[in-house]
Structure 1
């Protein structure tokens, strides 16, 4: 039996109000509250420009959790509206039992990759051509790919083998198009500035999100999400707390990225999903698009860390170990 209860919640043009399908639970209520408050914050910031930006926004995958609950959500949310034109996203999710998920939560995107593909297709269709009753009956009949309890540990093992066999050069080249790219050093420099002071405390939380670059979907690579979280843990010397993730590998504009929170996400951060180019002050971009000379940014990096970053022949496993030690 698969670990995950399928549900959905939100608005679609086929109905005049919210659509709820197996949408009970604290996690759904918390995600709904985050979206409601985020919409209010977005309207306040964008004013008359809100609707245009909202309806042009990309769908986003997410891992969302509430501390102290027995489950977490993984799914896809997409901008939508009801029959009257009132805006609110529609999100499709699995509620995953934490106790049965036998790996750290960062392996959920790899474990549920097939489900996310199906959820994205469902979000795009939005029940087009159906009445509400037909749509709900369609949801009941859906046979979604939900992995069993062995899958998380298997994906973690696949990831560990990947780290051992993949040279650092291959990862950075897949991410940025070339090995010696300024953004590689910017990510490290910015992460160290944020996480370095946290090493001296017991805190594993941040009051803002971190924006990480991701590998494009056509390269069929999914190890970057757990790798970034692995790097955070090495640099902090402990696992990050209460991870919440939002990511998109196929944005209509710009490059793929992930917004990561160590703790509950701020409602204002929802604006980053609607209008990523706006600086809402709630997410720090680790690899900004601003042009910078390679040599200039390299000179700002600690010599020990720079030596590791310049070595493209070491495995990613060795890279992570060394970056956690310097």
Structure 2
């Protein structure tokens, strides 16, 4: 059953054509929360003596805050910016959505939010590059974007992607995009890192994950949804607050995931590569998996499948779920 929500876009932050902060009249509670989040992030970032160089080089980001059981989802776009005097502070746009099946929506969120993210990025670019944004800000209050919030609406799209895409094609696309990926190690590592969460029912992970995405915009969001589809079943036994950040760049994009309910930590890791290397586990080719694979029958079975480039992602996903989730 279709559940299309028309969501308004709120905004907050600094732009080069204005002397101070700008803020929309929409959704004051959301903006207050996001203001605190950005302040916390900037406090972390500015602790580095070279923070201005790092900040200026940071890529724009799409983001989403999703709960495994919380029905309120937040989606937005954030970009480094500054005011008329050159004082640095991000500019963001954001919207809220009510979702009936939070975990299922999280698994499909890159597909569900792609249109909203694209609209936010377009509006943000107009504001950042404008010499007088007054008229644009007036238009912002009237903008609504429709989002299908029923996760099942994206199942057919995902099914087609999994059946058409092979291990070899996906790995090749990721390598061509600058990621030194080996899926024979990436997929088992993903399951091994998340298995303790499912077993213990813990509601947080101190480390985040950094996952590769292809340059091709047609495949970027399906691949992001694939990673989340493989991750979210492990989060079903506890109440997780998931922070999702996707680089809004043409090349070498990644999806960063935070599980600790503190999005300022994940955003800091996205803005600062040095912090990202400490905070996030990069899963391109985690060769530490190989020793564990040799001593475990289930992992060996998965490894045998993953060694065949012609195997579809649908089959690989099925074996992955059998080994790690028992279904």
Residues 20-39 of structure 1 deviation map (CA, whole Å, 9 limit, x = unaligned): 11443544333322221111
Preserved CA contact (<8 Å) 1:214 1:249: no
Preserved CA contact (<8 Å) 2:6 2:145: no
User: Cα–Cα, structure 1 residues 24 and 59, in superposed 2: closer, same or farther, change >3 Å?
Assistant: same
Which aligned pairs between 1:201-212 and structure 2 lie closer than 5 A?
Answer: 201-212=200-211
Q: Distance in 1 between matches of 2:51 and 2:268?
A: 10
Which aligned pairs between 1:260-299 and structure 2 lie closer than 5 A?
Answer: 260-265=257-262, 267-279=264-276, 281-287=278-284, 298=290
What stretches of structure 1 of length at least 5 have no aligned partner?
none
Q: Aligned residue for 1:52?
A: 53
Residues 216-263 of structure 1 deviation map (CA, whole Å, 9 limit, x = unaligned): 1345442112211221245678698332200115267xx210111224
Preserved CA contact (<8 Å) 1:62 1:244: yes
| Post-superposition offset of 1:266 | 5.2
Preserved CA contact (<8 Å) 1:12 1:126: yes
Q: Which moved more, 1:84-93 or 1:238-247?
A: 238-247
Preserved CA contact (<8 Å) 2:189 2:289: no
| Post-superposition offset of 1:113 | 1.8
User: Cα–Cα, structure 1 residues 160 and 35, in superposed 2: closer, same or farther, change >3 Å?
Assistant: same
Q: Distance in 2 between matches of 1:27 and 1:104?
A: 20
SS of 2:200's equivalent in the other structure is coil
What stretches of structure 2 of length at least 5 have no aligned partner?
294-298
User: Cα–Cα, structure 1 residues 132 and 176, in superposed 2: closer, same or farther, change >3 Å?
Assistant: closer
Residues 180-238 of structure 1 deviation map (CA, whole Å, 9 limit, x = unaligned): x7532342353244223333212253122111111113454421122112212456786
With structure 2 as the length reference, what TM-score do the two structures score? 0.81
Q: Distance in 2 between matches of 1:125 and 1:98?
A: 30
Q: Aligned residue for 1:311?
A: 308
Residues paired across the two proteins, number: 313
Q: Distance in 1 between matches of 2:102 and 2:239?
A: 18
Q: Distance in 2 between matches of 1:323 and 1:110?
A: 22
| Post-superposition offset of 1:105 | 2.4
Q: Distance in 1 between matches of 2:102 and 2:200?
A: 29
Which aligned pairs between 1:1-326 and structure 2 lie closer than 5 A?
Answer: 2-44=5-47, 46-47=48-49, 49-65=50-66, 71-99=72-100, 103-126=104-127, 128-131=129-132, 133-142=134-143, 145-148=145-148, 152-177=151-176, 183-233=182-232, 241-248=240-247, 250=249, 255-265=252-262, 267-279=264-276, 281-287=278-284, 298=290, 301=293, 302-326=299-323
With structure 1 as the length reference, what TM-score do the two structures score? 0.81
User: Cα–Cα, structure 1 residues 269 and 244, in superposed 2: closer, same or farther, change >3 Å?
Assistant: closer
Preserved CA contact (<8 Å) 1:208 1:266: no
User: Cα–Cα, structure 1 residues 9 and 260, in superposed 2: closer, same or farther, change >3 Å?
Assistant: same
| RMSD of Structure 2 on Structure 1 (CA) | 3.3
